[in-house]
């Protein structure tokens, strides 16, 4: 059998073809592999050679299953990701607001490459990225990497912080920010940095509004409130990532909002029935305009019972809103 220059790569071509084209419902026959090698790589071989290469791949550890019979063939049974896992990851990427549309498409394409072409085509048809609210900061991917590296090295960072103007352009704040990074968390599909700031104490920053991040030589300022379990507790108290004083708030919600409360505060929240249609619960949250708006937005189905200071803030916000009309 004449050998081509690609002969030594034959076994890799076979593996690549199986990874991209085979699954349990669509096995690849030896004749398909022979035709592919001849057509795409100018490699001539026979069935015996293909059988030998398949056996070598199986011996190496590739989970190739052989199906007997007229409609039989070969397929790769186990991959790095199962199909439901890939669908879950793709859904997370396409729904994430802090990833740009361009980066979302790049990541989704990489995830699709982890399965065969038939399944990849089906998943691409269900991907909806255009039209979704996405970050406009293409560097966020690298922002996250720099922050994680600084945390691992126990170093401070400096960065610039910006707002968007009415024309959709960045408007940088004058000062350079210095902070000791301690953790990244996600809320409402946005990514935030929890850090100890020299000027503002414990605070949070939208990662997609950070730029020019530099890892400094200085060690992080110690902050027990952002270390270990305390970091998670603090992130939970920063309700929807808006600053405010954390206090225990007792509320009364309609039973139709049960799922909303559990989704927001977790299934371990103690819920106490109050009559047939309502329940009470107490949670520790940061009192902020966003939290007050969240409660008021449910209308007559939600009410703050305690403390009086939070009740007064709700009343004042309602009066202020009514004054607009």
Query: CB under 8 Å to 119, separation ≥6 — which residues?
Result: 23, 83, 86
Same domain, 260 and 309: yes
Q: Which residue range(s) make up the domain with 251?
A: 246-322
Please identify, among 36, 59, 76, the residue that sits at the C-terminal boundary of a domain. Answer: 76
Same domain, 42 and 109: no
To which H or E segment does residue 300 belong? none
Running DSSP on this structure, what letter comes out for residue 208?
Answer: G
Residue 131 falls within a domain, yes or no? Answer: no
Six token digits for residue 245: 């004083």
Does residue 131 surpass a pLDDT of 70?
Answer: no
Does residue 154 surpass a pLDDT of 90?
Answer: yes
Please identify, among 204, 236, 268, the residue that sits at the C-terminal boundary of a domain. Answer: 236
Residue 132 falls within a domain, yes or no? Answer: no
Does residue 126 surpass a pLDDT of 70?
Answer: no
Specify the CATH number for the domain of residue 14: 1.10.10.10
Q: Give long-range contacts, CB 8 A cutoff, 24+ apart: 68-73.
A: 71/27, 72/27, 72/29, 73/22, 73/27, 73/28, 73/29, 73/30, 73/32
Place of tokens 């379990």: 229
Average pLDDT, the chain: 84
- pLDDT at residue number 125: 64
Same domain, 253 and 310: yes
Same domain, 208 and 144: yes
pLDDT in tens, 90-117: 777 777 766 777 888 888 888 888 877 8
Does residue 290 surpass a pLDDT of 90?
Answer: no
| CA 78 to each of CA 63, 84, 199: distance values in angstroms, whole numbers, following the listed order | 6, 13, 52
Residue 133 falls within a domain, yes or no? Answer: no
Same domain, 61 and 100: no
Cβ-contact 29, 75 below 8 angstroms: no
Give Cα 214 to chain centroid, integer Å. 24
Distance of alpha carbon 205 from alpha carbon 186, whole angstroms: 11
Exposed/middle/buried for residue 191 (C-beta within 10 Å: 0-12, 13-18, 19+): buried
**216-237 average pLDDT score:** 82
Closest CA to 210 of 160, 175, 173, 171: 160
Please identify, among 236, 270, 304, the residue that sits at the C-terminal boundary of a domain. Answer: 236
Specify the CATH number for the domain of residue 266: 3.30.70
Residue 91 falls within a domain, yes or no? Answer: yes
Specify the CATH number for the domain of residue 193: 2.30.30
Closest CA to 209 of 162, 145, 147, 142: 162
Same domain, 92 and 177: no
Same domain, 63 and 150: no
The region of weakest confidence among 52-56, 261-265, 307-311, 312-316 is: 261-265
Six token digits for residue 157: 């960072």
Same domain, 183 and 97: no
To which H or E segment does residue 105 belong? helix 101-112
Number of domains in the chain: 4
Same domain, 144 and 232: yes
Cβ-contact 313, 294 below 8 angstroms: no
Residue 2 falls within a domain, yes or no? Answer: no
Identify the band that residue 62 occupies on the pLDDT scale cut at 50, 70 and 90.
confident
Residue 275 falls within a domain, yes or no? Answer: yes
Phi, psi of 271 (to 5 degrees): -110, 125
Same domain, 210 and 277: no
Phi, psi of 152 (to 5 degrees): -65, -35
**164-177 average pLDDT score:** 81
Residue 100 falls within a domain, yes or no? Answer: yes
CB atoms within 10 A of CB 27: 20
Same domain, 148 and 190: yes
pLDDT in tens, 228-284: 777 777 776 664 445 556 789 999 999 999 888 887 887 788 999 999 999 999 998
Does residue 134 surpass a pLDDT of 60?
Answer: no
- pLDDT at residue number 274: 93
Residue 178 falls within a domain, yes or no? Answer: yes
- pLDDT at residue number 86: 82
- pLDDT at residue number 22: 86
Same domain, 183 and 119: no
């Amino acid at each position: 059998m004449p050998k081509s220059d690609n002969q030594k790569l034959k076994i890799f071509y076979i593996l690549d073809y199986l990874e991209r084209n085979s699954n349990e419902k669509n096995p690849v026959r030896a004749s398909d592999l022979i035709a592919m090698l001849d057509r795409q790589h100018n490699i001539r071989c026979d069935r015996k050679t293909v059988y030998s290469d398949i056996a070598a791949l199986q011996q190496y550890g590739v989970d190739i299953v052989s199906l007997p019979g007229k409609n039989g063939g070969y397929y790769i049974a186990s991959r790095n990701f199962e199909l439901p896992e890939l669908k879950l990851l793709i859904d997370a990427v396409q729904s994430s607001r802090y990833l740009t549309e361009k980066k979302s498409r790049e990541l989704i394409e990489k995830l699709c490459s982890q399965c065969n072409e038939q399944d990849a085509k089906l998943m691409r048809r269900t991907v909806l990225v255009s039209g979704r609210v996405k970050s406009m900061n293409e560097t966020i991917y690298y922002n996250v990497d720099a922050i994680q590296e600084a945390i691992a090295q126990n170093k401070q960072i400096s960065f610039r912080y910006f707002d968007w103007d009415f024309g959709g352009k960045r408007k940088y704040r004058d000062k350079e920010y210095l902070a000791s990074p301690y953790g990244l968390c996600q809320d409402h599909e946005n990514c935030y940095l929890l850090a100890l700031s020299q000027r503002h104490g414990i605070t949070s920053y939208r990662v997609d509004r950070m730029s020019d991040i530099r890892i400094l030589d200085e060690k992080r300022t110690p902050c027990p409130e952002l270390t270990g379990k305390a970091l998670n507790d603090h992130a939970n108290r920063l309700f929807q990532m808006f600053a405010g004083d954390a206090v225990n708030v007792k509320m009364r919600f309609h039973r139709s909002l049960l799922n909303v409360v559990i989704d927001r505060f977790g299934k371990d929240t103690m819920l106490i029935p109050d009559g047939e249609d309502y329940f009470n619960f107490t949670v520790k949250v940061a009192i902020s305009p966003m939290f007050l708006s969240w409660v008021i937005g449910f209308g007559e189905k939600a009410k703050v019972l305690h403390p009086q200071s939070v009740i007064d803030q709700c009343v004042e916000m309602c009066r202020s809103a009514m004054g607009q009309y």
